[in-house]
Amino acid sequence: MNITSNDIYKLIHQGENSSVELKKCSDKLPQSVWETYSAFANTRGGIILLGITEHKKQPIESRFEITGVSDPDKIETDFFNILNNRQKVSRNILFDSDFRPIEVEGKTVIYISVPEADYHKKPIFINDNIVDGSYRRSHDGDRRLDREDLAMMLRDSTDDIDSQILEHYGLDDIDEETLQGYRQVFNTANPGHAYKNLNDKEFLYRMGGYDYDRHKGIEGLTLAGLMMFGKGTPIEKCFPLFRMDYLDLLGVTSGGDLKWNDRLTYDGRWENNIYNFVTMTMRKLLFTLPSEGRIIGKVRRDGGPLYDGIREAIINSVTYSDFQTEGVLRIDRRDNEIILRNPGLLRISAERIYNGDFTHARNRNIQKMFRMIGYGDNIGSGFQKILSAWNTLGFIRPELKELSDVKEVWLTLPLIQTCRKGGGICGEISTVNSTINSTINSTINSTINSTINFLNGTFGNIELSDTQVILLRNMIENPIITIAELSTLTGLDRNAVNYQLKKLRTIINIKRAGSNKKGQWIISLKEQI
């Protein structure tokens, strides 16, 4: 790339910011240049201009003056001598072409382009001191990394974060119901797989949920195993700063009495592990989606670009979460959008992600576990699948942004369609399907919600499982649905579906009128005792 004097003028005119630093330099290299080098390398890269004097009391349009570098050859020699001295700078990530003398107004300005370092190589630090010599860029200044930032960056430098063995955490910390539920779905998705007949410990080992360190003589659950299948209390003990939260905010207005319609949070009613959170959230979201992603003909479907895109987004949020920092894995269902936020920062810039670059997930074993049951992939292309789904649906492009101050990543999925001709906004998808959804929801709510409190999963004094709730909802919403289709929907085999229906018949009148293939469900209430 050819850098001209006009390019220099533009940079000076915009002043210092998150990606531009202007420094006075005559015949001696300023020491602060290394703090900026570290900061840019550890953040999103940036440009350093040497030979610019700042007059701080002047207005922005006249604050910076081109004073030039008197001995550019000496400055270049000194710069690269220090850059390649490991006692001064931890790593040289520049090419020769990143250092350029530029003639401007008869003076020499040195243009230094500092790229963002690969996350495997971070942090870039100075003075042989990783604690006090690591910086990041914030607005127009260089800030020393605090202990938490440094710890996050060091964790991100490896690709096997969730492979960490958690000493003193073993099979007793696994929620048996969660693991068996997953294994049932696994067996359905992978018929005849070699892992089917393994005991739980061996199964977890093969999936990356349990491991041995023969050198240290330790074994136990990995971070992935505990987070995915663990009991809520051990997870909270091990990761006290991490939380999960789903909020249904449809129709909720600020300042109103209603805070939310539905919430999935740490309330003691479910084992707070990742697998439960994802599957329960997907079920809840499914019933809020427009008809395109819910019903095709008269048969309930979980597929289609809308459902697949949302599921991909949820798996991405989970697999890129930093469980060891303070934060919340949160999903908000709003009127016109779904917002997903996760603790941790992007490993590469949002711009690169939009352009098709990808990184390995922080939690590769958890990613693998979901991939093995058909959720997501392990090649880092999940975001492109989301973009493709939203483009297919004609929706406004999803927005991915990094909030470095609070150490969170937000992904907003608009449920608003754009006009195919001329751009602009055509209207929210819920409006397109308002008649269908209104009819469906009124039927569901009048039949089910009058008898079953779905928000707390109870009927009288009898607790209903999530599986029972979703079976009931599907039979009422789609009375012709078959046992086979219910089996596919829930991941249970037919015997298990029939077993759950048998349990439901103790509190609700459930009959099948007609044949298994062409009949329909008739559901009515029994008197509450």
Cα 303 to chain centroid, rounded: 21
Comparing 59-73, 80-94, 368-382, the range with the smallest average pLDDT is: 368-382
Whether 146 and 167 map to the same domain: the answer is no
Mind listing the pLDDT tens digit for each residue in 363-400? Answer: 999 999 999 998 876 555 688 889 999 999 899 999 99
Q: What is the DSSP string of 423-450?
A: -SEEEEHHHHTHHHHHHHHHHHIIIIIT
CA distances from 220 to 20, 178, 204, 428 (A): 48, 18, 10, 49
What is the pLDDT of the chain when averaged over all its residues?
A: 85
The whole-number average pLDDT for the span 252-256 is 78
Of the two residues 465 and 520, the one the predictor is more confident about is 520
Q: How many CB atoms lie within 10 A of CB 178?
A: 20
**pLDDT at position 437 over 80:** no
Helix, strand or coil for residue 282? helix
CATH number assigned to the domain comprising residue 494: 1.10.10
* Residue after which a domain boundary falls, among 372, 405, 432: 432
CA distances from 411 to 79, 173, 381, 383 (A): 40, 32, 15, 10
**pLDDT at position 458 over 50:** no
Q: Which residues form the domain of 451?
A: 435-525
Of the two residues 453 and 150, the one the predictor is more confident about is 150
Which residues lie across from 458 on neighbouring strands? 453, 463
Whether 406 and 516 map to the same domain: the answer is no
Whether 120 and 261 map to the same domain: the answer is no
* Cα torsion 286, 287, 290, 295: sign: positive
Residues of the chain above pLDDT 70, percent:
86
* Residue after which a domain boundary falls, among 116, 134, 155: 155
CATH number assigned to the domain comprising residue 86: 3.30.950.30
Fill in the DSSP letter of residue 118.
P
pLDDT band at residue 503 under the 50/70/90 scheme: confident
* Cα torsion 68, 74, 80, 81: sign: negative
Whether 207 and 351 map to the same domain: the answer is yes
pLDDT band at residue 340 under the 50/70/90 scheme: very high
CATH number assigned to the domain comprising residue 412: 3.30.565.60
Whether 378 and 258 map to the same domain: the answer is yes
Please name the amino acid found at residue 26: S
Whether 41 and 117 map to the same domain: the answer is yes
Q: How many domains does the chain have?
A: 3
Query: Residue 91: its pLDDT value, please?
Result: 97
* Residue after which a domain boundary falls, among 397, 432, 467: 432
Whether 129 and 46 map to the same domain: the answer is yes
Structure tokens at 516: 């298994």
Whether 507 and 466 map to the same domain: the answer is yes
Query: Residue 486: its pLDDT value, please?
Result: 83
Whether 151 and 165 map to the same domain: the answer is no
CA distances from 2 to 21, 22, 197 (A): 20, 20, 63
Whether 380 and 344 map to the same domain: the answer is yes
Mind listing the pLDDT tens digit for each residue in 31-40? Answer: 999 999 999 9
* Cα torsion 61, 66, 67, 73: sign: positive
> Buried b vs exposed e over 188-210: b needs ≥16 C-beta within 10 Å?
beeeeeeeeeeebeebbbebbbb
Residue among 251, 208, 200 at smallest CA distance from 228: 208
**pLDDT at position 174 over 70:** yes
Residue among 342, 185, 364, 176 at smallest CA distance from 279: 185
Whether 483 and 519 map to the same domain: the answer is yes
Give the global pTM: 0.76
**pLDDT at position 286 over 90:** no
Whether 356 and 460 map to the same domain: the answer is no
Helix, strand or coil for residue 335? coil
